[in-house]
Amino acid sequence: MRFILITIFLIISGSATAQQGNEALRSAAFLSVRATGGDQVHTIMELYGLADFACNTAVFLKLNGIKSEHTHLTAGKTYKMPIQSMKYNGSSIRSTTGIDDWKTAVQIRDYNHALLRKGVRDDDFTESRDLWIPWHIINCDKNGKTKKSTPDTKTPEAKPGKKVTPATAYGGEPTTSDNNRVFPIFGDKYAKTPLISSKLKGKIFYLVSGHGGPDPGARGKRAGITLCEDEYAYDVTLRLLRYLLSHGATAYMIVRDPNDGIRDQNYLKCDNDEVVWGNKTVPQNQKARLGQRTDIINALTEAHNKRGEEDQTVVEIHVDSRGKSTETDVFFYYRPNDEASLNLALHMHQIFIEKYNQKRGPSRRYSGTVTSRDLYTLRETNTHKAVYVELGNIQNDWDQQRIVLKNNRQAVANWIGQALSKK
């Protein structure tokens, strides 16, 4: 089976789709495929049922910076295909893509099923929810001419009508236009993120909020309302991202919610539309979910290492779940047998001790802990440092205040940010 990978840095969407279809289609990622020995441009076009439309080949050449369609592809190298991959909503291709035309939807369906029959893909999009949309069906006329000649670069979170700048492959969180420091992921209220200092310039951070997508994580109850771990971990992580970006860091929000920016409400609505960097669907299976995230991080880590940017850190944030009466202060896990990770976790711990002594006074000592733990993301990532933060016990009334009150969410994010700013 040919190796298919949906790579993180291919967030290029054909603005030709902007007029047709919805936001998700406009920002859908392009598929990447690893070439095998003997592959040429036209053979790979053939295999993916794209060869009949010259526009597909034109886009392939453009996406991969290749001059001629007679070029031999390099075995083992990944190439971007003029095929967008997006999350199928389980009900219809038309509502998934925002394209009303019945015939177009049938064409897309048939294309996906044809590749399945051919063995080019091994999953049925209705099950895997991974819908492939070939360029020609939406963007080319019947003579195989692209209605708009070449694709533009675009980032996933672009709001309709909001012009977005190209997300450089390793530039971290994208802005809406060059250096305007407007980050759509934070939502309108917090998008504008002024540069406060450059103390984190050259430092790379991968922020992982726990769970997400089909997995809400642990759930607690407060005043009859369900608190979902993934929503609160997401909001604290998003606030941490903003802290790091405001100090000049390069930071990646690995789990991403297309329509929840930073939220100030106490009760954050549980939903399951989170995706991961590159607009990829979050798998149901836990191992696959964790593997997907670490693969993304490791690919970026490798790229930044190649650029000599080795100061790279993973921070994963969760909310723990224990017996209702158990109060649990923020505590830390670090990558086993990794001194740099231990030192970082100890430093975070120290900051929390100081902050809580100020906030709580001697009467209520901070009791958070630092321990090594063989957790998947800590073990499987290759960054210089990796720590895992548990924000408290989602079942406990007292601890719930730490996540329900926005100022507390902000305080925790700031403290973790300050610890990460240590020289």
Q: What residues between 359 and 418 interact with Zn ion by CB under 5 A?
A: none
The residue among 190 and 376 lying less far from Zn ion, judged by its C-beta, is 376
39 vs 390, beta carbon nearer Zn ion: 390
Residue 190: CB minimum distance to Zn ion, A = 24
User: How many CB atoms are located within 10 Å of the residue 284 CB?
Assistant: 11
Question: How many residues belong to the site for Zn ion (CB under 5 A)?
Answer: 3
Structure tokens at 114: 């044809």
Stretch that binds Zn ion, among 31-39, 215-223, 282-290, 362-370 (CB under 5 A): 215-223
Residue 134 lies near Zn ion (rule: CB under 5 A) = no
Q: Does 217 bind Zn ion (CB under 5 A)?
A: yes
For 350, other C-beta atoms within 10 Å of its C-beta total: 13
| SS3 state at 184 | helix
Q: Residue 213 interacts with Zn ion (CB under 5 A)?
A: no
| Complex with Zn ion: residue 173 or 230, whichever CB lies closer | 230
Q: Two tokens at 391?
A: 């924000």
Residue 206 and residue 315 in contact, taking contact as beta carbons nearer than 8 Å: yes
CB of 218 to Zn ion, least distance (A): 6
| Per-residue contact flags (x/-) with Zn ion for residues 63 to 82, judged by CB under 5 A | --------------------
Q: How far is the CB of 336 from Zn ion (least distance, A)?
A: 19
Nearer CB in complex with Zn ion: 121/318? 318
Length of the chain: 423
Note whether 261 binds Zn ion by CB under 5 A.
Answer: no
- Is residue 210 within the footprint of Zn ion (CB under 5 A)? yes
Q: Which of 131, 164, 142, 124 is nearest to 29 (CA)?
A: 131
Q: Which positions from 296 to 335 touch Zn ion by CB under 5 A, shown as an x/- string?
A: ----------------------x-----------------
C-alpha 135/C-alpha 151 separation (Å) is: 10
The C-alpha atoms of residue 18 and residue 366 are separated, in whole angstroms, by: 52
Distance CA 266, CA 369 (A): 27
Query: What phi and psi values does residue 142 have, to the nearest 5 degrees?
Result: -65, -15
CB-CB contact of 390 with 369 (8 Å): no
We find the least distance from the C-beta atom of residue 229 to Zn ion, in angstroms, to be: 5
In whole angstroms, the minimum distance from the beta carbon of 351 to Zn ion comes to 22
CA dihedral 203, 209, 210, 213 (to 10 degrees): -130
Whether 305 contacts 298, CB under 8 Å: no
State the nearest-atom distance from the C-beta of 372 to Zn ion, in Å: 18
Stretch that binds Zn ion, among 67-75, 214-222, 252-260, 283-291 (CB under 5 A): 214-222
Alpha-carbon distance values, 412 to 18, 48, 141, 390 (Å): 39, 49, 54, 11
Minimum distance between the CB of residue 161 and Zn ion, rounded to whole angstroms?
Answer: 36
SS3 398: helix
Which residue stretch of 119-127, 217-225, 236-244, 392-400 sits at the interface with Zn ion (rule: CB under 5 A)? 217-225
Which residue lies nearer to Zn ion by CB, 217 or 220?
217
21 or 210, CB closer to Zn ion?
210
What is the bridge-based pairing of β-strands 275-276 and 255-256?
antiparallel
- The residue (of 318 and 347) whose beta carbon lies closer to Zn ion is 318
Binding site for Zn ion (CB under 5 A): 210, 217, 318
